Structure 1
Amino acid sequence: MRIRPVPGGYAFARNVNSVPLVGSEFAAAACHFPIVFAGGSPEQMMPAALLGLSQDENLFVDAEGRWAEDVYVPAFLRRYPFVVAENGEGEDFTVCVDEAVIDEADDAMPLFDADGNDSEMLQHAIAFLGEYQKDVRRTREFMELFAHHKLLVEKVIRLERPGNEPATLSGFSVIDEMRLNTLGAKTLQKLARSGALGLAYVHLMSLSNVQRLSARMDRKHQGAHGLH
């Protein structure tokens, strides 16, 4: 089996307005995106980067499928064309590949060598996916702390945009900063030692990027050519 990924191609992500994040990405992602939490219940929630303020619109991918210059690309997207199917609760996982990139031409990239072993390209992909899955497990641990201390509250973003219809975005949660500030010293110490407290404040600071997203959306809809 051989594949032909599109170099630097993010057209596959053009219609997603959020993607999952892991804790190790917070610092880089917070420079560009609002970080929120999404899931069916507080116990199931995971962090996500908001990439757009309307359904099915990623403001960081242009018409040619290029990612916006000098903007962080979440690891969830950098995994492509590979994804992971988890096998239970252990560290074992199954590697899957998007059928759209399979190409049997001789000049495409092989997944296996002549002896049936993983090619160098596939080895690198599996190593990346393995580290990513470790990050997912660590992220679930601090999310459990947020849920245990009831720090997550539902949020609705309403943007008043001069000359445009107000934009409303819902279906996600944020950290309740007032509740966070009233936690006892022992609880705060536990959150700090786990790294969760620092991530909570990075998340809160990232929410100011909502206005930057709004400005980017207005530029795009006003017929701006390309993303800058």
Structure 2
Amino acid sequence: MTQLLFYERPVPLNRERHLTTRLAVAGDHFRFAAKTNAVPIASTEFLDAARDYPIVFVGEADGPISVAALVGLRQAENLMVDDEGRWAADTYIPAFARRYPFVLAKTDTEAESQQLTVCIDETYPGLGVHEGESLFDDQAQESEYLQRILGFLQRFHAEVQRTTAFAQRLRQMGLLVPKTIQVERHGQQQVLQGVWVVDVERYRGIDDARAVELFRSGELSWIEAHLLSLGSLVRLAARLDLYSKASADGETLDPTSPPPDTPKH
């Protein structure tokens, strides 16, 4: 199976293998996401995510391009997940993370096809047979809980496909430009490379027909949300300050506290 971000041992969901399996949300549920500074995101999430995260395009100049929400400014560090595996309070959680431990993925036998299989990460500590939501009922049919999960996975997959097409369209229009993100805090500089953003001047210069097309498709609001989200870099840097100070003092940042206010300039 293709290696997947966050998933250690994803296996196809199987009625026989998982007939009695139950899922209870573990107290440290989001520990799986603690070692990443970017989470893939779908365009339908832009408006919600823009309030908390910078939304950027990622990819090589001549390769596939996707969209991600920055959740950290240093490699292998998610500023939104604390040492107890809890996501920061009152912040948007991307669907990519909310779907865990489930995922739609290609198995080895499906590598050359478009078929996807529902898989589950069997290393997730919330899986068991005594507590939590049942995946299958007494007749070995999908439980209502699992049916809701499957619907969510299918909708998210469709949204990701649409987002990929959207990102590719922006690149074909010449609106995306490479961006090196530099954040300096207290004499230390954090640098992120390999990201792309919409060039404001090129965007404002598109012709009326294309502007109307983007408006009718709803993609105009996605671009605006992306541009607005870049202001969240300051909030992310402020959170890095809190984590760095807590680490230096030997403390743990309480994720139940609201995110830091944007510093005044």
What's the secondary structure of 1:189's corresponding residue?
A: helix
The aligned runs of 1:43-82 (5 Å cut-off) are 44-82=64-102
Specify the alignment match of 1:226 in structure 2.
Answer: 254
Following the alignment from structure 1 to structure 2, what is the Cα–Cα distance between the partners of residues 205 and 184?
22
User: 1:173 Cα shift?
Assistant: 0.6
Q: Establish whether residue 199 from structure 1 lines up as the match of residue 227 from structure 2.
A: no
The aligned runs of 1:35-46 (5 Å cut-off) are 35-41=55-61, 44-46=64-66
How does the TM-score come out when normalised to structure 2? Answer: 0.79
Which is worse superposed, 181-190 or 168-177? 181-190
Amino acid at match of 1:195: G
8 Å CA contact retained: 2:24, 2:131: no
How does the TM-score come out when normalised to structure 1? Answer: 0.91
Cα offsets for 1:193-227 (capped at 9, x unmatched): 22222211110111011111111001111016323
Structure holding more helix per residue: 1
8 Å CA contact retained: 2:25, 2:132: no
What's the secondary structure of 1:222's corresponding residue?
A: helix
Cα offsets for 1:57-116 (capped at 9, x unmatched): 0001111111111001000000011011156786x5311100113745344543222322
Q: Which runs of no fewer than 5 residues in structure 2 stay unpaired?
A: 1-17, 258-265
Paired-residue identity, %: 39
What's the secondary structure of 2:188's corresponding residue?
A: coil
The aligned runs of 1:84-163 (5 Å cut-off) are 84-85=104-105, 93-101=116-124, 103-107=127-131, 109-162=133-186
User: 1:141 Cα shift?
Assistant: 2.9
User: 1:6 Cα shift?
Assistant: 2.9
8 Å CA contact retained: 1:156, 1:169: yes
Specify the alignment match of 1:18 in structure 2.
Answer: 38
User: 1:147 Cα shift?
Assistant: 1.7
Provide the aligned length of Structure 1 versus Structure 2.
226
Change (3 A) 1:145 1:42: farther
Which is worse superposed, 63-72 or 180-189? 180-189
User: 1:43 Cα shift?
Assistant: 6.2
Following the alignment from structure 1 to structure 2, what is the Cα–Cα distance between the partners of residues 45 and 195?
20
8 Å CA contact retained: 1:188, 1:197: yes
Which is worse superposed, 30-39 or 104-113? 104-113
